[in-house]
Amino acid sequence: MAVTMSQAATQRNEHEHNADPVKQGAAEAVKLTGVGLRYPDGAKQREVLRDINLHIAEGEFVCVLGASGSGKTSLLRMIAGYEQPAAGEISIFGQRHTGPNQRVGVVFQHANLFPWLNVRSNVEFGLKMQGISKETRREKAAYYIEQVGLSNAVKLLPHQLSGGMKQRVAIARTLVTDPNLILMDEPFAALDAITREALQSQVRELWLQTGKTAFFITHDVDEALFLAGRIIVMGGSPGSITTDLPNPLQHRIGGLSEIRSGKEYAMLREQLIQLLK
């Protein structure tokens, strides 16, 4: 019998509060210990995050849910190395994390493509900055462009692309540099429902193929249930992790509509909605 989220929560509470053990046999990709974050607010400082303890194993797909203002994006930015914690410590793959590095790739809500570069050149850009030869970067870019279904659009400029196509380019641009950890900050939030579901399926398939560690911010319960192996719920002010649960649906075969049709899906969805209230 599958473990429900409420049962899992009870089991988790028997362990250390606000922490998760690394998957058995897997190396540790991300570790946050007692992490806090503050932003300047006039003469004072505003506390944004407090006492974040989080362990993510290599190969996990973790989704973070929470209302606006709960600190989801701030947490991602610290893991990316764009923000430094006011308290606690962050380590990535066993090394103390103090700034951006090539092992961590980021996909934002907006693609932020270079408007003067075509699809291929946008995807190649990071490799070019690393000094990779033209032949090698063309080969790598072609592979990931094909993986995101844009082989027929390599010469198009960003203004010629739909929103979904731009996000596909952004995903390919991140993957081509071969990061070990991929951070995604609501990358499909601005897309229509059909495009969103298509890209969710594509990201799920890419994760299954590559085995990368993924950390995905979303406000969409359905998206989290379709993609994640673990679902973290954030809340409060300052933000903290209120719930950290396994998702028994992650390895179900089929698309989102098939997974949604099951009774277990409806039950888990309702539990998450209640946790977010």
Mean pLDDT of 230-241: 94
Residue 131 burial (CB count, 10 A): 7
Could you report how far apart the first and last alpha carbons of the chain are, in Å?
28
User: What global pTM score does this model have?
Assistant: 0.87
Bridge partners of 32, per DSSP, are 54, 90
Quick one: three-class SS letters along 85-115? CCEEEEEECCEECCCCCCCEEEECCCCCCCC
List the beta bridge partners of residue 61: 214
The predicted-structure confidence for 3-35, as pLDDT tens digits, reads as follows 445 444 443 443 333 444 445 557 899 999 999
Mean pLDDT of 155-173: 96
Band (69; pLDDT cuts 50, 70, 90): confident
Per the prediction, the chain carries an average pLDDT of 88
Q: Give percent of the chain with pLDDT exceeding 90.
A: 69
